[in-house]
Amino acid sequence: MVSYWRQYPDIEVKLQAVREFIKQRVQISNTDIESAIIAMNAAGGKYLRPAFFFMFTGFTEHKQYSDDERIAVAASLEILHMATLIHDDIIDDSPLRRGQVSIQSHYGKDVAVYTGDFLFTVFFELVIETMQGSPYLAVNAQAMKRILLGELDQMYLRFNQEQTVDNYLQSCTGKTAELFRLACEEGAYFGGADTATVERAGRIGINIGLAFQILDDILDYTAQEGEVQKPVLEDLATGVYTLPLLAAYEGHAQDFKPYLDKGLNISHEDIRTVARMVRDFHGVDKARELAQSFTQRALDDIEQLPHTPARKNLMKLTRQLLHRTR
């Protein structure tokens, strides 16, 4: 996490505070669960959602909410994210998470169920503590539901060769973009920005989230084993068809069918063949184009934000995050 934010020293300091805050808040007498959460928190993703939150607090000097309150809100975003990741890994039977053994694989599905539930309760507490009387209490409940519905969509589309790019985008809008939307919107709101900026922040969040998810899914088709911190093409093996495959599939259904029909019995060799076809039929190129168009929409909206140093940083971060080529 540290190196990623070196260019944004203000953000880096705040993210460290969020990390400490989370460490304090997840204390629980059950040592397995506490250590599992603390390890996950330390291995940390990039804390992207709290980072976008803080970026968006920078658009006014107005201070209705204290720094401590903002840290708590930023932490609630990351905690909700962690809770959903842990439960997703149960569904995906995922052996790895953030380059470490996932909780479900290390401690078993039972512990993973309760660990996710525990984080949901911490999220719930934090939201109540910080948002009483604000509309964001209800917004958070709704966001949590939308994220879950996105996950459910994905689960139910598994191995379905009839699914479309639209199905994929709808699922991503829930499972990924919703939390980016919430992070950006809450940043603007708890930073004291005006209504138009809050609304724009939400839209930016959605577009960043969609681009981010697509790029992540592209990586699965272009990265070599060992380069990324999760097994390459695990999604394909478990029947999750992401954008590169869906884009390549259009017009080439017959080429893919014999492989996809194998369902869970698809071999490593088959997976490599499918991945090659995805690239040959321009699935990766098309996915990249779509990611590019969401990125551009986000950048155009960022252009319209008040001219502040925060805008400059936000522009830089968005470019850095979404212009990764592989």
Binding site for a copy of itself (CB under 8 A): 28-30, 32-33, 87, 90-91, 109-111, 113-114, 116-118, 120-122, 124-125, 128-129, 132-133, 137-138, 141-142, 144-145, 148-149, 151-153, 155-156
What is the separation of C-alpha 139 from the centre of its chain, rounded to a whole number of angstroms?
A: 18
Cβ atoms of residues 22 and 75 within 8 Å = yes
Nearer to a copy of itself, 69 or 255 (CB): 69
Alpha-carbon span 182 to 136, nearest angstrom: 9
- Cβ distance to a copy of itself smaller for residue 7 or 142: 142
Instruction: Name the residue nearer to a copy of itself (CB basis): 130 or 197.
Output: 130
Expressed in percent and rounded to 5, the helix, strand and coil fractions of the chain are 75, 0, 25
Question: Per DSSP, what are the bridge partners of residue 97?
Answer: 100
Between 8 and 120, name the residue whose CB sits nearer to a copy of itself: 120
Minimum distance of a copy of itself from residue 113's CB (angstroms):
5
Closest distance of CB 69 from a copy of itself, Å: 16
Query: Could you give the angle at the alpha carbon of 238 between the alpha carbons of 44 and 253, nearest 5°?
Result: 125
* Complex with a copy of itself: residue 63 or 145, whichever CB lies closer: 145
| CB of 94 vs a copy of itself, minimal distance in Å | 12
Supply the minimum distance, in Å, between the C-beta of residue 302 and a copy of itself: 31
- Taking the complex as a whole, how short is the minimal distance between the CB of residue 307 and a copy of itself, in angstroms? 37
Q: Retrieve residue 121's tokens.
A: 């309760």
List strand residue ranges (DSSP E) for the chain, in order: 96-97, 100-101
Toward a copy of itself, which CB reaches closer, 113 or 228?
Answer: 113
- Minimum CB–partner distance for residue 318 and a copy of itself (Å): 29
The label of the residue with tokens 């928190």 reads 41
Instruction: For the chain, state the CA radius of gyration.
Output: 20
Integer angstrom CA distances of residue 239 from 33, 105, 163, 259, 279 = 30, 20, 12, 11, 18
Q: Which helix (H) or strand (E) holds 271?
A: helix 268-280
